[in-house]
Amino acid sequence: MMRKETHSPGETREFGKALAEHLKPGSVVALTGPLGSGKTVLVQGICSGFQVETAVSSPSFVIINEYPGIRSGARIWVYHFDLYRLESSREFVNLGYEEYFYGKGVTLIEWAEKAKDFLPEKRWDIRLKIVAENEREITVDEP
């Protein structure tokens, strides 16, 4: 387990960028924390680490965004789920999540607790906690 405190959105992004170096095709990252805790900012940093050039925003209404990235000169896909608006786990199942989880990309899931029964056992768990207005505590459990 690793714990990190950040003191600005920029620091949270930089932490995400550094974290991307440890992720590989097939990695699933489950992000949890209250609204405004920095989940999307961390995802932006991870995407930056994969050289994603598209603007990264929370896919609250479309649920999943797919971003092309690069790792070691090769194309890698980053799949960004935002489950905030899901009403039931059945809605999650209907997304065809297996294709994303067990594919060749990296899957990042905001509000992962809404799909806890479907998450792979081998995954990264990242919890974000609001400490102060711009201060966050990030806890990372590696698979």
Tens of pLDDT, residues 86-117: 888 778 888 888 888 888 899 999 999 999 99
Give residue-wise pLDDT tens across range 32-41.
999 999 999 9
| Domains contained in the chain, CATH given | 2-141 (3.40.50.300)
Provide DSSP, 75-92. Answer: EEEEEEEE-TT--SHHHH
The backbone torsions φ and ψ at residue 6, rounded to the nearest 5 degrees and listed phi first, read -120, 155
Binning pLDDT at 50, 70 and 90, where does residue 77 land?
Answer: very high
Q: What is the pLDDT of residue 60?
A: 65
| CA dist list (Å): 127 to 12, 73, 89 | 13, 30, 21
Q: Assess whether pLDDT exceeds 80 at residue 135.
A: yes
To the nearest whole percent, how much of the chain has pLDDT over 70?
A: 98
Q: For the whole model, what pTM was predicted?
A: 0.93
Confidence (pLDDT) at 128: 98
